[in-house]
Chains A and B, each alone.
Chain A
């Protein structure tokens, strides 16, 4: 039995293994012993060398994988696959005390037994090598991921310092990565075993140091914790997955993990809040019938009880749409006004009167129309003696939307006229700037010929008589365009949208 002492370095093992192989010493007659007191050697080992920041290449110490180089005069040719050197270097960084023996055993078998041994991944030695390499690579990857720098102000400028606890002796393997990435930064990574410093030009290796010597705070960590907490989704919890990827042993050097416990404790409450905050939908008040049995009158009946948004609280009654159930043209307004609320019928107040007038002017027969609103209740605030109209907010429009959609679904109008921005938003699904969209036909899910114009109530609110006349004239012109479209629809096979858009 021969005792071989290794300096805990791959290059040392490589040198000695080469000699042993050339002397034909079989693996089972060697006892590999690791030098224990190597602490004093570490700084000296590296400090005189300017370390390259390229990752160590396999075969750096031994090009071409030729294991038979010069010192031995007998010149026995032992060629081993290049791949082995790379794997061996990773495995040599593993803490396992048996790694030197394993590496020599595989080297021996590659030379004497089977040059393809590494391909046989089920071979116990190869499997063990794979396992060591995998663990070292994983540790390297986790070091790249989990090192957390803290900024320290120094005379020469900011210095970023981290303390990390790797499982294996990987600092020299990973340091070049940090040097490349944080090239223009001064940084130091401390570990128990070996530390490394980058001054912007070269890497310097230093003895290990205890956690207590590392900086303890950095103001930005509170911002980082805020980010971490906000990016967590309490609706899906997969703790096991988190712990598998981010083992608990790393947590104490990662500032964000301090909030995990609070996040978990809070997640149930936040989920409950989610559910409570869910907007309600008019759908809940739909008739309890199969959808194909819906009619406008069953819908109208059910809508009487709708409580999907809060507006109903102040309103007298639901104001559902009315008119020809086979209407060719449907007008959608915003919401009922004071008169409509009292009477329970849409478009009978001042705005409704104006609409009727204009329809008459351009010659649209009210008998072929259906009128309704995006919101079916009157929203108002008291001002002196009057109930002043108040614009419904988006969530109220959305809550009421199912009624409007169901009406349109049943009528399937050839022409759909949206009066004002609220009606337009409900149908189009985005907030609409009236001036950009009005005055032309375009297709929507509910009608191939959808048209946006102003709401007649908006005309009534214009106080300057000239201004008002101007806008009324424009409204009438647009209604005339609609009238023309209706006419052309009556001619067989004329698709109105295309003919009108071509103008």
Chain B
């Protein structure tokens, strides 16, 4: 099979991993080499599915001994199989990078023979890029489930980011869809990566020669909607992983129909809006001071698809409002629906010099039509009378048809939404 045919197979097989970040790392161009990272990720292109192309995201091979139902590469799938050589991946990465197509490489793989043999070849790709090609661009390596600690330690010397995918929030989900996969094994890898990152950070200030170890940290991915697990399960797991292993990101990937899909999977994919709501909730956990238990209720366990999670929380916790934009502490401003981190900073800066009125907020790029029920400002705000109204939820719900945009499969096929 020629290179293009294999590229088609091995890029197709890799695209279900949502991670595309190339940010958060500063790496200078090596003398005589090309490639660097300046902290800000760059999306070099976008495909019609709305996702960005930042890294050359491919598999080393899609041969795999495992039979994970959600995965297009599982052993029982009828897809065509292919494999790259180490040198082919190195050449492809350099060719693409020199033309400014990509920020770097995201390399994952099916498991061939053993986890260690697979990981060893992947590490070799990264080593050749860094050492032989003097490549300073971004490298994200997947930690193959169950590979040895020694290989992870080697991988981190060349890679900017490592990731081990947890895939599903509960072990019982895995038992159902990927009985050979154990959360403890994945978390063991995460633990080893974390330990090594911390160790390197401790040494770095004392010894200038300390080599960097995965300076972009580690991330993971969870598939949404392939099992009956609720958003509460997902957020609980995410929050545990953020705390336990200092993950930089948890990616949520709405289960999407795959060619030769396994029979145990649902035939319909979950609405993309669910994935979106989870990302919003994730943001609230990491930057807005929310606890995961605040975001869902015991009654449903799932996030509200109609309303964003912050607005939904606000409606359930009206006693917290109105928040006075001129006096409230930052942590309270962050709880106002519609108000983002940047807007909060702007308000904090402005109110040192003048008392803000409702119409002042109207001049900022904020959705005042949603916020107005929850805030108090200089000169009063008549809208807060609706705060205790039983129809508040209806006032804030988007028109029904708008929601259909996200949910309808036919619309997804016509290309809008």
Contacts and interface: CB of A to CB of B under 8 A. Distances in A.
B350 A122 contact: yes
Contacts of A282: 263
Interface in B10-51: 11-12, 14-16, 28-29, 32-36, 38, 40, 42-51
A283 B263 contact: yes
Contacts of A271: 257, 413
Interface string A411-447: 0000000000000010111110000000000001100
A15 interface: no
Contacts of A180: 28-29, 36, 38
A279 B261 contact: yes
A150 B92 contact: no
Contacts of A316: none
A350 B248 CA distance: 59
B92 to A, nearest CB: 7
Interface of B is mostly: loop
A242 B45 CA distance: 9
B42 A226 contact: no
A223 B261 contact: no
Interface string A224-265: 101111111111111111100110000000101000100110
A76 interface: no
Interface string A168-182: 000000000100111
A267 interface: yes
A236 B49 contact: yes
A149 B100 contact: yes
A454 interface: no
B98 A185 contact: yes
B8 interface: yes
Nearest to A237: B415
Interface residues of B, number: 83
Nearest to B56: A227
A395 interface: yes
A119 interface: yes
Interface in B252-272: 254, 256-264, 267, 269, 272
Interface in B103-145: 134
B368 to A, nearest CB: 12
Interface in B344-398: 346, 349-350, 352-354, 360, 363-364
Contacts of B260: 277-279, 395
Interface string A38-62: 0000000000000000000000000
A429 B98 contact: no
B269 A239 contact: no
Nearest to B349: A119
Contacts of B16: 233
A222 B48 contact: no
Contact of A398 (B45, B49, B67, B267): B67
A47 B58 CA distance: 43
A233 to B, nearest CB: 5
B104 to A, nearest CB: 11
A229 B179 CA distance: 33
Interface residues of A, number: 84
B250 interface: no
B101 A231 contact: no
B49 A237 contact: yes
B257 A430 contact: no
Given A230-B15, A264-B48, A223 B3 contact: yes
Contacts of A283: 263-264
A147 B100 contact: yes
Contacts of A146: 44-45
A498 B52 CA distance: 51
Residue picked from A226, A279, A445, most chain B C-beta under 10 Å: A279
Given A183-B29, A235-B49, A428-B179, 12 more contacts: A122-B350, A151-B99, A182-B34, A230-B8, A235-B269, A237-B417, A240-B50, A242-B46, A245-B43, A256-B101, A268-B413, A278-B261
Interface of B: 3-4, 7-9, 11-12, 14-16, 28-29, 32-36, 38, 40, 42-53, 56-58, 65-69, 75-78, 92, 95-96, 98-101, 134, 175, 178-181, 254, 256-264, 267, 269, 272, 346, 349-350, 352-354, 360, 363-364, 412-413, 415-417
Q: Ordered nearest first, which 9 A-B pairs have the shortest CB separation?
A: A281-B263, A238-B50, A394-B76, A241-B50, A429-B179, A230-B11, A430-B180, A232-B47, A122-B363
8 contacts: A148-B101, A229-B8, A230-B11, A232-B15, A256-B45, A271-B257, A425-B75, A429-B68
